Structure 1
Amino acid sequence: MKKTFRLACASCLLAIVSMPAQAERADREKPVQLEADRMSIDDLNKVQVLEGNVILIQGTLQILANRLVVTQDADGFQKGTATGGANGLARFKQKRDGKDDYVEGEAERIDYDARAEKSEFFNRAWVKSGLDEVRGAYISYDALNEKYLVTTGSGASKSATGAAQARVRAIIQPRSKNENPATPKGDPLTLKPAQSGK
């Protein structure tokens, strides 16, 4: 059981650790601390489910949710889904690699696909990287191309309270004039216009 528990911890971490921006690399070498009211592991189908006040900590990485489900495909790639938590929001926070600031975010549901290196935040979504932040009904972050897509969602996309989110909002800090473009200090946010269908 101890070996199985460690494998579950590792799988949970792999599915979530590559959240938006350049995550603190040293976190991958730190032990994983997990707390939950319940945990079930299906080794045959490669599914781990943690439920009830879920807390995952590894180094600077923190995930808080009511439920965390991790699946693994035949090639070993993981997908993770964190849902619920305080006020119905799953939350994460992690120090950026080589920086003195953090990436943090929250949404009613946070999905991560390790194969595509893509994170998605659904309903009441908010992501902050350093002093830059974006807010909308849906946020997608493509780590391979370092791009964000933020939309207001469709009319069917509403928060847990039933209220529709009105508009996408972003705060993007100006770059320092003394900053050398060849060595940027932060990762800029790239916002795309909302696309219909999301």
Structure 2
Amino acid sequence: MLKRFSSQSLSFLALLVLPLAVMAQGKADFKKPMEVESSHEQFDIKNNKLVLTDNVIIRQGTLLIKADRLEASASESGEQADTFIAEGSPATYTQTLENGNEISAQANKITYFQAEQRLELSGDAKISQGTSSSSGDTIVYDLAEQTISASSSDTDNGRVITIFTPKTKDEKNDNENP
């Protein structure tokens, strides 16, 4: 029975991490082995729900997700996970893209809606790539359209902050003279 449960659990984990990996466009990572760690795992077979808690780490190539808790829910058919919720203080996501740039995101809650190809960061949300970053209460990243929308609540003066850090003269010269 334990062997059957472990096999089902690993199959469900494969459904969990593949959609999360799609969000970063780091295609080479998808061909690498996947490793999922946590201090505790609970798989509710009847309700098609997997909950990982306590120091959750997902690695696949350069992709790295860290959270205090990760919940994945499968559709009614049980064939594919639909919604993935990572929670932490903060939950984080990083990956090195094929062009060498790193994209990273963090929030108290990171929700991935697979069918809609949408990532929603909520609660102290921040997303950055290179020297630019955006932060707000909520950030929505549409993976298919490659668009980002950020908003803040009235409690934080209703402001979204985007920072563009210019290159210094030395950095420009270093890029021109390899």
Q: Which TM-score band (shorter chain)?
A: 0.7 to 0.9
What residue is the counterpart of 2:95 in the other structure?
94
Q: CA deviation at 1:59?
A: 0.7
TM-score (norm 2): 0.81
2:22 aligns with one of 5, 12, 18: 18
- What is the deviation of 1:77? 4.8
Q: Give the conservation status (yes or no) of the 8 Å contact 1:9–1:32.
A: no
Residue 44 of structure 1 deviates from its aligned partner by 3.2
Q: What's the counterpart of residue 41 of structure 1?
A: 43
Higher relative contact order, chain-length normalized (CA < 8 Å, sep 6+): 1
Change (3 A) 1:147 1:171: same
Provide the alpha-carbon RMSD of the alignment.
Answer: 1.9
Structure with greater helix share of residues: 2
Contact 2:71–2:84, Cα closer than 8 Å, also in 1:
yes
Q: Quote how far apart the aligned CAs of 1:45 are.
A: 2.2
Q: Percent identity?
A: 26
Q: Which has the larger radius of gyration?
A: 2
The equivalent of 2:171 in structure 1 is: none
Does 2:7 match 1:3? yes
The 1:72–1:102 alpha-carbon spacing in structure 2 relative to 1, beyond 3 Å, is same
Identify if the C-alpha distance between structure 1 residues 15 and 50 changes in structure 2 by more than 3 Å, giving closer, same or farther: farther
| Letter of the structure 2 residue corresponding to residue 167 of structure 1 | R
Match of 1:146 in 2: 146
Cα distance 1:165–1:81, how it changes in 2: closer, same or farther (>3 A)? farther
**Partner residue of 2:84 out of 80, 103, 109:** 80
In structure 2, C-alpha distance between the alignment counterparts of 1:115 and 1:165, rounded to whole Å: 33
| 1:77/1:37 CA distance change after superposition, 3 Å | closer
Q: Deviations over 1:102-138 (max 9, x none)?
A: 1101000000011000000001100012222111111
For the pair 1:110 / 2:110, whether they are aligned, the reply is yes
Aligned to 2:176: none
Give 5+ residue unaligned stretches, structure 2.
167-178
Amino acid at match of 1:48: L
Structure 2 counterpart of 1:92, one-letter code: Y
* Count of residues in Structure 1 that have an aligned counterpart in Structure 2: 160
Unmatched tracts of structure 1, length 5 or more: 156-163, 175-198
Who is 1:177 aligned against? none
Structure 2 Cα separation of the partners of residues 64 and 82 of structure 1: 8
Residue 55 of structure 1 is aligned with which of 31, 54, 57?
57
Matching residue within 155, 161, 164 for 1:169: 161
TM-score for the superposition, normalised by structure 1: 0.74
Cα deviation for residue 153 of structure 1 reads 2.4
Q: Name segments (4+ residues, structure 1) moved above 6 Å.
A: none
Render the CA deviation track for 1:123-178: whole Å, top value 9, x for unaligned.
Answer: 110001222211111100111111111001254xxxxxxxx46521112468xxxx
* Amino acid in structure 2 at the alignment position of 1:62: L
Retained in 1: the 8 A contact 2:16–2:81? no
For the Cα contact (< 8 Å) 1:139–1:151, is it kept in 2? yes
More strand by share: 2
